[in-house]
Homo-oligomer: A and B are copies of this chain.
Amino acid sequence: MGLDENLENLHAIDREYRHLEKAVAVLQWDQETYLPSKGVEERAEQLAVLQRIAHERLASTETGRLLKDLGSSHEHPSGDPELPSIDRDFLKVMRRNYDRAVQLPGDFVSNAARAVGLSQAAWAEARRNNDFPQFLPHLKTMIAIAQKKAEYWGFKRENAYDGLLDSYEPNMTAQDITAVFRPLQDRLVSLLRHIAAQPQPDNSFLKLDYDTNKQVQFNRLLLEHLGFDTNRGRLDISVHPFTTSLGFDDIRITTRYFKNNLLSSIFSVIHESGHAFYELGFPRELQGTCLADGASMAVHESQSRFWENVIGRSRSFWETLFPKLQAYFPEQLQQLTVNVFYQAVNYVHPSLIRVDADEVSYSLHIILRFELEKQLFSGTLAPEDLPEVWRRQMKDLLGVEPETDADGVLQDVHWSMGAFGYFPSYALGNLYGLQIRQRLLRDLPNLDELIAQGWFEPVHHWLQDQIYVWGRRLDPAELLSKLTGEKLSPIPFIEYLEAKYKHGTIDKT
Q: Mark A344-381, 1 if CB is under 8 A from B, else 0.
A: 00000000000000000000000000000000000000
**How many A residues are at the interface, by size bracket?**
35 or more
* A26 contact from B20, B30, B37, B288, Cβ within 8 A: B30
Q: With an 8 A cutoff between CB atoms, is A118 at the interface?
A: no
Q: With an 8 A cutoff between CB atoms, is A69 at the interface?
A: no
Task: Given A42-B248, A249-B36, A249-B42, answer yes or no on A49-B20 (Cβ-Cβ < 8 Å).
Answer: yes
Chain A contacts with B in 299-329, Cβ cutoff 8 A: none
Q: With an 8 A cutoff between CB atoms, is A508 at the interface?
A: no
Chain A contacts with B in 38-71, Cβ cutoff 8 A: 38-39, 41-43, 45-46, 49-50, 53
Closest to A17 in B: B49
Give complex CA distance A15, B231 in Å.
36
Task: Given A42-B249, A42-B250, A248-B42, answer yes or no on A230-B36 (Cβ-Cβ < 8 Å).
Answer: yes
Give complex CA distance A248, B232 in Å.
31
Task: Given A232-B36, A249-B36, answer yes or no on A46-B30 (Cβ-Cβ < 8 Å).
Answer: no
In the complex the two chains form, is B20's CB within 8 Å of A250's CB?
no
In the complex the two chains form, is A233's CB within 8 Å of B46's CB?
no
In the complex the two chains form, is B36's CB within 8 Å of A27's CB?
no
Pick 26 A–B contacts, CB within 8 A, sort by A.
A16-B49, A19-B45, A19-B46, A20-B50, A22-B42, A22-B46, A23-B49, A23-B50, A26-B26, A26-B30, A30-B246, A34-B234, A35-B250, A36-B233, A36-B249, A36-B250, A37-B231, A38-B232, A38-B250, A39-B250, A42-B247, A42-B249, A42-B250, A42-B288, A43-B247, A45-B288
Known: A19-B49, A36-B230. 19 other contacts (CB 8 A): A15-B45, A16-B49, A19-B46, A22-B42, A22-B46, A23-B50, A30-B246, A34-B234, A36-B232, A36-B234, A36-B250, A38-B250, A39-B247, A39-B250, A41-B249, A42-B247, A42-B287, A43-B247, A45-B288
